[in-house]
Chains A and B, each alone.
Chain A
Amino acid sequence: MLEIRDLHAEVEGKEILRGVNLTIADGEVHVLMGPNGSGKSTLSNVLVGNPKYRVTQGSIVMDGKDLLAMSPDMRANEGVFMSFQTPVEIPGVSMTNFLRAALNAKRKHQGLDPIKGSDFLALLREKRKIVGLDAHFMSRGVNEGFSGGERKKGEIFQMAVLEPTFTILDETDSGLDVDALRTVVEGFNVLRNGHNSALVITHYQRMLDYLKPDHVHVLMDGHIVKEGDASLGYTIEERGFDWIKEEISTQP
């Protein structure tokens, strides 16, 4: 269970989030929509503890633990994963070495021994298939020279290896071609179980079709201004955000 209460956050001295409230129960998939620049990525970054973003007020509690008190790596090892909107290149650090370090950090956190070399390679092979990522990406530097779509596949692949309990997908669908999107989201669905939950940021209906989310939230001007079920997402796809803006302005 993830509970965000009255969350305020700023970046470069500018307040972006102005009191966000959001609860995601175990096993649920929530979709977050909102106009460009409304603060969706800001919220994601705050959830994973990006030091560029400063929380000024409010709380984030996951399974009873204060997320804001944890370092980014601690949060990750507690099961928080973010698929970045724009994944960065890490030249010279191969995907294999990178993921081994990440997986072993998590295992250490759980009190487990490092994974055996052969088991690890088998695991990579199995998870690559889920998203259809070629073997040669493993020996290349992380995201080094990857196309936009390949980077997004890479993110889901990493998620599959690390098996998080709470996943944020920040526009993972944009940049993927139709077939790749299906593979990736099907892969994502395969990894769902009754316990892990997700916050999915998207601008597109296709994602709603595949994901069948439990809830849809709309973020505007740093607040969640509207909530509903999947049908809210379809309405936005059809009518945009203006009607919501009008609705707010007519409210007292």
Chain B
Amino acid sequence: MSDYTYPPLYCNLGREDARAVGVEQFADFLESYGAELDLHSVPELAANRSGMSNAIRRYRRHPGELYKYTDLKAALTPEYGINIHRRLLTPNPYKAYRCGVAGMNAHTVYVVNDVIAPMAEPVSPAADHDCFYVGPISAVSQAWDNGTSMLILMFQKYMYRSGAFMHNDDPITWLNTMLRQDGIMVYVPDGMKLKRPVQIVNVNDSRTPMMSNRLLFVFLGHDAEADVILCDHSVGDTSYLSTQQVNVFQCYGSRLGLYGVEETSAQTTRFSNFSIHQEGGSRLDSNLLTLTCGLSRNTMWVRQVDDNVQTSVSGAVIADAQQHADNYIHIIHGRANCESEMYFKYVMGGASRGAFTGISYVDRNSQINSRQQHQSLVVSEKARVQSRPVLEIYADDVKCSHGSTVGKLDEAALFYMRQRGIPEQEARLLLQHAFVNDVLQRIPLEPLRERISRLAERRFRGDAAHCDGCSIKDYCQ
């Protein structure tokens, strides 16, 4: 352990009881280091730790269906350090890293492990209700002037409301709640349409195994609009574990574009939890793209409230080698005239594992239209993909559809392309890219769409060498 990952987090040191391995190490950790953790935390985040710790101790007896395709215990068992003292390991990440989605003219925030780097162009905390805010929660915490205290009040009021479902059920949310020390808040007041997207670049960068616990809270006022891009990277071949909790509160008529791009490493275990509260007339366009990963899991709960809510969650996975990618989407529909769509495509190579769970819940007296599609292209013998659509419908006036297909590359198309002189590798690349491309085309933000399409193409080109997919590679070498 090097000095900055102090104190180290030992999981099963001196324990004979095999059952204690896994999630319990974190509860043990909290017992020993809780006070120190609090000392370096945003006070508003320190309050909830102990309840979560009890929940985690109970979890191992009730694993449930939530992590059916991802072995949570195994994923959480290795030892990691936590940067409790919150030192910024890379002083100027804006210079040091180059995220492939850069140049978006965004409000960019770099998060190195879980420490939020000072922004190159800081957005100062709102002086009044009419200003937006993008920045660390620590910057608005315990503030007593007008605008800033308003922000922290909003945080306290809506952050947990939007995340309620996950707090009851999800061990990753418990873990994150228990260990996180700071986070990012995006606040967009009523009626404001953010011209530039917000981009959060999460970078795992450490020379010793490192755990990061990240938090993002997005609040969109009535009729507000914003686009938020989340990029995930890993530097080098260190083992990383990250948990991320994203809570979103969308007021009436607001629109959010929420995009995730993961380009991490084979040694990265990443959990990202989204809990989204959508009031009437609001719209969510979400796109989650897993380009390279070790073990990756996105869990998204969307709760539609009232009428005319639209939710579109799409995503793509490009996996090979031993990668494991799991998307779990749960949409609880609103009342009248609500729509939802889940659209996911996976390209699975090597010995990769893919899983998709889509749950549509429709309460009595709802009138909704819900579609679910999960299509996979399995390009190697050893790759596997599992798909689980769940429709829980207690209403009559609903239109629900779901479909899941697993196919191979079209050999006839492949031959046709080769007959025109296109080498086999290139032909495969074109076919695979074409397969996921319609998911990428759903990104309404044009510059982002183009960049992501290019990243995907490069990902297909980057043969077995894993780091090829990662744009921070230049920095590693």
Contact = CB atoms under 8 A, between A and B. Distances in A.
Given A73-B424, A99-B420, A101-B422, 10 more contacts: A48-B419, A72-B415, A73-B427, A76-B420, A82-B419, A89-B413, A90-B410, A98-B417, A105-B420, A105-B422
Size range of the chain A interface in the assembly: 20 to 34
Given A73-B423, A88-B413, A101 B418 contact: no
Nearest to A50: B415
A240 interface: no
A77 interface: yes
Interface string A150-185: 000000001000100000000000000000000000
A251 to B, nearest CB: 37
Interface string B404-433: 000000101101111111111011001101
The 6 closest A-B pairs by CB, nearest first: A92-B434, A76-B421, A102-B420, A72-B418, A105-B421, A73-B418
A97 B437 CA distance: 13
Nearest to A73: B418
Nearest to B412: A88
Contacts of A109: 421
Contacts of A103: 421
Given A101-B426, A106-B421, A92 B437 contact: yes
Contacts of A48: 419
A248 to B, nearest CB: 33
B434 A91 contact: yes
27 contacts: A50-B415, A50-B419, A71-B418, A71-B424, A73-B422, A73-B427, A76-B421, A81-B419, A88-B412, A90-B413, A90-B417, A90-B434, A91-B434, A92-B433, A92-B434, A92-B435, A92-B437, A92-B438, A93-B417, A93-B431, A102-B422, A105-B421, A105-B426, A106-B421, A141-B434, A162-B420, A162-B421
A158 B420 contact: yes
Contacts of A93: 417, 430-431, 434
Contacts, number: 78
A218 to B, nearest CB: 26
A142 B420 CA distance: 12
A153 to B, nearest CB: 16
A98 to B, nearest CB: 7
Interface string B422-454: 111011001101110110000000000000000
Contacts of A72: 415, 418-419
Interface of B: 410, 412-413, 415-424, 426-427, 430-431, 433-435, 437-438
Contacts of B435: 92
A158 B417 CA distance: 11
B423 A105 contact: yes
A73 B422 CA distance: 6
B475 to A, nearest CB: 29
A84 interface: yes
Nearest to B437: A92
Interface of A: 48-52, 71-73, 76-77, 81-82, 84, 87-93, 97-99, 101-103, 105-106, 109, 141-142, 158, 162
Contacts of B422: 73, 98, 101-102, 105
Interface centre among B410, B412, B424, B433 (most CB of A within 10 A): B412
Contacts of A88: 410, 412-413, 416
A90 B438 CA distance: 14
B419 A97 contact: no
Contacts of B430: 93, 97-98, 101
B387 to A, nearest CB: 21
Contacts of B420: 76, 81, 98-99, 102, 105, 158, 162
Given A90-B431, A91-B434, A101-B426, A76 B416 contact: no
Given A90-B431, A105-B426, A73 B410 contact: no
Interface centre among A101, A103, A141, A158 (most CB of B within 10 A): A101
A38 B435 CA distance: 37
B296 to A, nearest CB: 25
A51 B427 CA distance: 15
A51 B411 CA distance: 10
B469 to A, nearest CB: 21
Interface centre among B413, B420, B422 (most CB of A within 10 A): B420
Contacts of B437: 92
A62 B424 CA distance: 22
Given A90-B434, A93-B430, A101-B426, A76 B413 contact: no
A76 B419 contact: yes
A172 to B, nearest CB: 14
A247 B294 CA distance: 70
Contacts of A98: 417, 420, 422, 430
Contacts of A84: 416, 419
A71 B415 CA distance: 11
A92 to B, nearest CB: 3
Contacts of B426: 101, 105
B421 A102 contact: yes
A179 B418 CA distance: 31
A209 B421 CA distance: 31
B431 to A, nearest CB: 7
A205 B433 CA distance: 43
A90 B427 CA distance: 11
A76 B426 CA distance: 15
